[in-house]
Structure 1
C-alpha cells in the first residue's frame, strides 16, 4: 500500500514538473520578439511603403472606439539606426521634437526619483500665455534598447478637455543601407465631455477638416478623405511623425543652426499636405515658435 502511494506520488510529481516545464517553454515561445515583429511588419508593408498617397515610404493607420482614439505611422527613414537612437533616446531631444507641433507651447524634462517627466503645456495654434495652456506630464521611459532596436514610451494619465491615458510610443529597428524602420503610435482615451467638446469643434471652426484615409471619391473625382475624430487623430499623428523626421534631419546641421532648420523644415513638410495640415502662414508659425523656444529656455 505504501509502495503504491509512493509510486503514485512520484508520478504526480513528474507530471507537475512536466506541466511547469511546458508552461515555461510555452511562455518563452509565446513572448514575441519585438525586433522580429517590427521587421515582419516592414515586410508586410513593403508594397504600401513603395506606393502611396504620401509620396514617401509611409503608411498611416487609425482606429476609433467609443472611448479611445489611436493613430499609427510606419515609415522608413533615411538615417542609420545609430543616429536615430542617439537623437531620440534622450528626453531633452523629445522636447525639441514636441515643440514643433502647433499646439505645444512648452516642454521641459525633469528628473525625479521615480523617473523622467516631460512637463508639456498644450494650447492654441496661436501665441498663448503658459498660464492659459493645459499642462500634461508625460512619464518618459525606454522600454528596450539594443544595438538594432529601441522602444520609447511617453505616457500621461491626464490630458486636457476630457482626455486621458495618453500614449506616444516609438519603436525603431535597423534596416540595411543605413536606414531605419520606425513605428509611431499616438493614442488617448476620451470621455463623454471630451467627445462633446471635439464634436463642437468639428461642427464649428473644425468643420471641413479631414484626415488622410481615403474612403471614396467625390463627384469631381477627387479623393474623399475621412473626417470627424479619426481625421483629427490622423492629422496629429502625422504632425508628430513629421516633427520626429524633421528633428533627425536637422541633427546634421551645426548646433547653432539646428533650431531654425527644424522650424523651417517642419513647416515645409506640413505644407506638402495643405488639405489636412495647413493652419497658419509661415511667418506666423516661425515667429510664434521662436518665441516659445526662447521661453522654454528661461521658464522652468
Structure 2
C-alpha cells in the first residue's frame, strides 16, 4: 500500500494526472435523461442559463461522495442539432475533441470484440513519451441516431492509480433558433490509496485551486469559490465543454484549417477563466498539441 501511495503521489503532485481523472467523476453515476426529461431540464434551468457568471449559457453542477465525485455541465450551443448529432455520434470525432485537453496525450479509436473503443492516454501538462502516459480504454456506444435526441456513452472499468468505473455521457436535444441543449456528465470511482493522495494534493500543491460555483457565504462573509474535489471537477468539466464547443465551431473552416482553429478557440476560451484554467502560454500549448495530434494521426493510419 505504501508503495502504491507513493506512486500515486508522484503522479498527482508532479502532473495532476489524478486530478484529470477526478475531473471525470460522479458521486452517483451519471445516467441518460431522455429527450423529454432533457427538454424539461432546459426549461427549469433557463434562468441560470440566461444569467450567470460564465459569460454564456452554461450551468455547472458538482458533488462529492466518500470515494467518488460528480461533474455535470448543461449548456446551450449555437450549433444546430443536426450538426451536433452528426459530429458527436461518430467515435472518431471524439478523439479530435478529447485531444484538446492539456492532459490528453493521445486518443485512438478502434474495435475489439465487436465493440467500439477509445484508447485515451492521460499524462502531464507537457510533452512526455506515451509509455509514461497511463491508458484508459473506453467502450463507446450511442443510441440509434434520431431527429430529436443524441445519447453517447463511454465506459471504462479500469483506470490508472487505483481508479475504476469511469463513465462519460453526452446527451443533447434540439432547441428553436438552430440551437442545441447539451448535457455532459461524468462518473468515476477511486480507491483508498488515490483517495488519500488526492486529499494530500488538495491540502498542499492544489490548495489554492478553485472551481466556478460559489459557496453559501457565512453571515457577514463574502462568497467564496468552491475548492477541493468539487473545484477540480468543475475545472475539468469546463475544459471538456470548451473542447466540444471548439470542435463544433471549427467545422465551418476548410478541413486543412480546422485543427488550428479548434486549438486556438480552445485556448482562447480557457483564458477567459485564468484563475481556474490557465496553465500554459499559448505558444507552448499549440506546439505541444500539434506534436500530439501528429502522433495521434500517425497511429490511426
| Partner Cα distance (1:284, 1:186) in 2 | 28
Name the residue aligned to 2:296.
Answer: 296
* Structure 2 unaligned blocks of 5 or more: 1-31
**Residues 71 and 33 of structure 1, relative CA distance in 2, 3 Å threshold:** closer
Name the residue aligned to 2:13.
Answer: none
| Partner Cα distance (2:131, 2:143) in 1 | 33
Map Cα deviations across residues 137-179 of structure 1 (whole Å, 9 max, x no partner).
Answer: 0111003531111100011111122221111100000111100
Q: Residue 123 of structure 1 contacts residue 134 of structure 1 at CA under 8 Å; is this kept in 2?
A: yes
Name the residue aligned to 1:191.
Answer: 191
* Structure 1 unaligned blocks of 5 or more: 1-31
SS of 2:209's partner is: coil
SS of 1:111's partner is: strand
Name the residue aligned to 1:134.
Answer: 134
Name the residue aligned to 1:51.
Answer: 51
Name the residue aligned to 1:76.
Answer: 76
Name the residue aligned to 1:173.
Answer: 173
SS of 2:224's partner is: strand
Deviation at 1:207, TM superposition (A): 2.3
| Partner Cα distance (1:222, 1:144) in 2 | 48
| Partner Cα distance (1:251, 1:137) in 2 | 27
Task: State the TM-score, normalized to the length of structure 1.
Answer: 0.86
1:29-40 alignment runs, 5 A limit: 34-40=34-40
Name the residue aligned to 2:204.
Answer: 204
Q: Considering only aligned residues, what root-mean-square deviation do their CA atoms show, in Å?
A: 1.9
Deviation at 1:217, TM superposition (A): 5.7
Name the residue aligned to 2:255.
Answer: 255
Deviation at 1:194, TM superposition (A): 1.1
SS of 2:143's partner is: strand
| Partner Cα distance (1:43, 1:182) in 2 | 13
| Partner Cα distance (2:201, 2:283) in 1 | 25
Map Cα deviations across residues 110-155 of structure 1 (whole Å, 9 max, x no partner).
Answer: 1223310001100111111100000000111003531111100011
| Partner Cα distance (2:260, 2:220) in 1 | 40
Q: Residue 218 of structure 1 contacts residue 224 of structure 1 at CA under 8 Å; is this kept in 2?
A: no
| Partner Cα distance (1:231, 1:214) in 2 | 10
Q: Which runs of 4+ in 1 moved over 6 A?
A: 218-222
SS of 1:207's partner is: coil
| Partner Cα distance (2:232, 2:99) in 1 | 19
1:99-138 alignment runs, 5 A limit: 99-138=99-138
SS of 1:148's partner is: coil
SS of 1:210's partner is: coil
| Partner Cα distance (1:108, 1:286) in 2 | 20
Which structure shows the higher strand fraction?
Answer: 1
SS of 1:126's partner is: coil
Deviation at 1:260, TM superposition (A): 0.4
Q: Residue 216 of structure 1 contacts residue 225 of structure 1 at CA under 8 Å; is this kept in 2?
A: no
Deviation at 1:187, TM superposition (A): 2.0
| Partner Cα distance (2:219, 2:278) in 1 | 24
Map Cα deviations across residues 66-105 of structure 1 (whole Å, 9 max, x no partner).
Answer: 0211100011000000000111111110000000000000
SS of 1:69's partner is: strand
SS of 2:157's partner is: strand
SS of 2:185's partner is: strand
Structure exhibiting the larger radius of gyration computed from Cα positions: 1
Task: State the TM-score, normalized to the length of structure 2.
Answer: 0.86
Aligned positions, number: 269
